[in-house]
Chain A
Amino acid sequence: MGMQRSYKCERVIERLHKKVNRQVVASLEACVHCGMCTDQCHYVLANPGDVTYMPSYKADKLRKFFKAHIDWTGRTFPWWVSARSLYTDQELEELKDTVFGKCTNCRRCSINCPMGVDMATFNRMARGLLVSVGVMPEGVAVVAKDQWEIGNQMGVLREDYIDTLTWMEEELQAEHNDPAIKIPIDKMDCDVVYSINPREVKYDPRTIADAALIFHVAGENWTMASEGWDMTNFGLFNGDDDLGGAVARRCYEATENLRGKKLVISECGHGYRSTRCEGQNWGQKDIPFAMESSVITMLRYIKEGRIKVDKTTNTEPVTYHDSCNNARSCGMTEEPRELLNLVCTDFREMHPNRAENFCCTGGGGAMSMSEYTPRRLKSAAVKAAQLKATGAKCVVTSCHNCVDGLTDLIRHYELGMKVTQLVNLVANALIIPERRHAAAVGGLEGYKILLADDEPDTLAYFETVLADHGAQVILATDGDEALDLARKEKPDLITLDLSMPGRDGGEVFEILRKDPVLSQTKVCIITGKPELRRLIYDRPVPPPEGYLTKPVSEDDLMLNVRKVLEHTHHES
């Protein structure tokens, strides 16, 4: 008598028949177990004694049930070809651990496979099968649901998006003393509709301002959309083609309805691949406009003489990290290098590079799966060695996922490098008349700011910057002291580190928000551990007014502090 199969396994197998296409069949059939893929995988290199990380082993976990249900050899001689079906929910959990937790879909094994086995494609299919029965890491569920229902994968609400764009516009106008600098929203008939990653709104709005400045100086007729502005697509990561199609269509429909001539996609590897290359297929939609990476847009502006740059403004040694999706899946390898050489004086190549580059280890949605963080950081050893060997002080990448992945591993391996994007370097090198520094002295007079951080150097740095701008600064070195001083001093703003002795920043934050006297106090999280974001955003209290990831530049600190103190106050 055959084994009883669980309800979820039945549904997975039923859907398998619908999801298997020629590309997947070819890849599942073609493997000859030659082992060429083994040393291409960063997980294997970090775990040499563990076969469960080998791409061919991981592929076999899927191949077994493909053989059992699709391939004639498996249905006829299952014992011969190791065919085995799925029976229990426990097996689905084990499969989840492999397809989500042991592969970032980086495709490095694929380009080194003599048989052309596309591991990422069927790994993604397997993720989609599991997601369809609700089996997925919690973080994946959170992000996917946000993107389905809010319209972007970080749950940025419409008012916060518009507020951030308005804030950035005001900052740019003040910084450059030029009211003509605009961030247009829903402007019809533009030559460029600019789409972004919600991470830019939530954690890195400076990239939006930098892009806006470049568009302004180039004299571009451009706009951003009030909806359908998120060009990222979690459907690529969780294997849900319906999500992939819905998200891509929102982006296309926004551009189409604004009658935009070109959709420019900001620096994001998976966003570029999803929107530029995959979305039309998932969404079953032809599009009547052109699409372009902002890297190519910026390069074009320089070549066409629409913007001028001075590379001597970027003299720090930099290296470039190729995002897997940009380089391996979309072939965008030379444009960023050409651009880097135009805006930096000391660009150093990382080895291996381009399509052979190693993953940042944060790809494939890995940054959202906190349960696999130790595994991810261990596998980052190879990337850390690559980075260190360049001797660069700064790593540039054209991907927001990579920014987070690299920032995390740089901290873990204590490499002391900073991470930035091309848009930041181009904006810094832009030749514009009468530039004025963002962090002009003054502006915080009359404000009382409590800084809570257990690192004395960080406290001293923030204190100096904020006091120089006129703020009254109070210092706390742990969570309890922060609470005591907050109650006693009633500051206008509290900057809060997440990882502190005693009560951590998350606990302190929740207590502050629930305190009847302090609940309205502005809070800006400043953390060196972006993976702990959920400690804050999962709490049943209103989110903080500001968020910064260390290291924090003076400009970023001042921009965010001003935003929290002045703009939100003004808006309310």
Chain B
Amino acid sequence: MALQVAPTGMLCEPIEKKVGNAVVRLQHGDLTALPVDAFVFYAREDLQIGSGYGTAIQTRGGASVKKELDTIGRIKMGGAVITGAGEMKARHIVHACGPKFQEPDIEKKLRQCVQSALAVADKAGIKTLAFPPMGTGFYGVPLDLCANTMLDCIKSFLQTVECLEEVIICVIDYRDYVPFRKKMESM
């Protein structure tokens, strides 16, 4: 898969690690423009798409994603659901609900959310799945905690995986890249 190299990504050298029969890859790029089987969207419990990656989903994907989500209604904290991705390059979107704004038990909820996303994707026959740094940035999940929790979950899940062949962590900038690189190097 061609990497998107742009000025803010020049510092972010892609890194790969083999875990079982699968590959974990850290790379810079535009999550919602990746040609993957599915990417993960950090969802709200009410499944309203909102802005940020949601803006990209609605603009690039069209109205079908929201329509599908409307029929699902809500999800629980730590849960995940899968929809189509409309006209995007990805075929599916995994909507996974994680902790927001310093709420209690962040690590536990984040772990559940990442595990759910992986399980839902694997069950749906997804081979390549891309994650953003889950809940960092707007929702304030600390980057170090996110990197450690996500990569631990992914590593553990890939030991027993059925379909998943490649899990990508797609970062938007160098700030996000550093803690994931550190964790990847220690894996």
Residues of chain A at the chain B interface (Cβ within 8 Å): 7, 11, 132-134, 141-146, 148-151, 155, 157-158, 186, 225-228, 242-243, 245-246, 249-250, 253-255, 257-258, 513-514, 540-543
Contacts and interface: CB of A to CB of B under 8 A. Distances in A.
Contacts of B59: 155, 157, 542-543
A46 B55 CA distance: 37
B73 interface: no
A513 B66 CA distance: 14
A149 B53 contact: yes
Majority SS of interface residues in chain A?
helix
Given A151-B172, A246-B137, A146 B66 contact: no
B63 A541 contact: yes
- Range, interface on chain B: 35 or more
A377 to B, nearest CB: 25
B63 to A, nearest CB: 5
Interface string B42-60: 0000000111111110111
Contacts of A243: 137-138
B72 interface: no
B21 interface: no
Interface stretch (B8-16, B113-121, B151-159): B8-16
A365 to B, nearest CB: 14
Given A257-B8, A542-B59, A150 B52 contact: yes
Contact of A250 (B51, B55, B66, B173): B173
Interface string B77-116: 0000000000000000000000011111000000000000
A158 B7 contact: no
A226 B7 contact: yes
Interface of B: 6-11, 30, 33, 49-56, 58-60, 62-63, 66-67, 100-104, 132, 137-138, 140, 172-175
A138 to B, nearest CB: 10
A86 to B, nearest CB: 15
A499 B30 CA distance: 36
A150 B56 contact: yes
A132 B7 CA distance: 30
A149 B33 contact: no
Contact of B63 (A141, A186, A245, A540): A540
B173 A11 contact: no
Given A11-B102, A253-B174, A148 B138 contact: yes
A245 B6 CA distance: 19
A569 B5 CA distance: 28
A281 B173 CA distance: 18
A249 B173 contact: yes
Contact of B7 (A11, A143, A227): A227
Given A226-B7, A254-B7, A257-B8, A246 B175 contact: yes
Given A149-B138, A228-B173, A250-B8, 15 more contacts: A142-B50, A146-B52, A149-B52, A150-B55, A151-B8, A151-B173, A155-B52, A157-B59, A186-B6, A227-B7, A242-B137, A245-B175, A254-B8, A257-B10, A542-B59
B52 A257 contact: no
A345 B70 CA distance: 58
A132 B140 contact: yes
14 contacts: A11-B102, A134-B100, A144-B138, A146-B55, A150-B52, A155-B51, A157-B59, A186-B6, A226-B6, A253-B11, A258-B7, A540-B66, A542-B62, A543-B59
A227 B8 CA distance: 6
Contacts of B67: 540
A132 B137 CA distance: 11
Nearest to B48: A540
Contacts of B137: 145, 148-149, 242-243, 246
A157 B60 contact: yes
A540 B55 contact: no
B51 to A, nearest CB: 4
Q: Give me the 5 closest cross-chain CB pairs, A-B, nearest first.
A: A149-B52, A134-B101, A155-B55, A145-B52, A254-B7
B55 to A, nearest CB: 4
B58 A249 contact: no
Contact of A148 (B7, B52, B56): B52
Contacts of A148: 52, 137-138
A130 to B, nearest CB: 10
A253 B62 contact: no
Contacts of B50: 141-142, 145
A451 to B, nearest CB: 26
A157 B31 CA distance: 12
A157 B55 CA distance: 9
A256 B55 CA distance: 29
A95 to B, nearest CB: 16
Nearest to A537: B55
B175 A146 contact: no
A217 to B, nearest CB: 26
A149 B132 contact: yes
Contacts of B172: 149, 151
A347 to B, nearest CB: 38
Given A133-B101, A148-B52, A158-B33, A225 B7 contact: yes
Contacts of A186: 6-7
A119 to B, nearest CB: 26
A245 to B, nearest CB: 8
A405 to B, nearest CB: 22
A257 B174 CA distance: 12
B109 to A, nearest CB: 14
B155 to A, nearest CB: 25
A158 B6 CA distance: 11
B102 A143 contact: no
Contacts of A132: 101-102, 140
B98 to A, nearest CB: 13
Nearest to A251: B8
A245 B176 CA distance: 12
Contacts of B102: 11, 132-133
A133 B62 CA distance: 32
A96 B67 CA distance: 33
Contacts of B55: 146, 149-150, 155, 157
A227 B132 contact: no
B42 to A, nearest CB: 9
A100 B58 CA distance: 28
Contacts of A542: 58-59, 62-63
B46 to A, nearest CB: 13
A541 B62 CA distance: 6
Contacts of B63: 513-514, 540-542
Most chain B beta-carbon neighbours within 10 Å: one of A155, A243, A245, A543: A155
Nearest to B66: A540
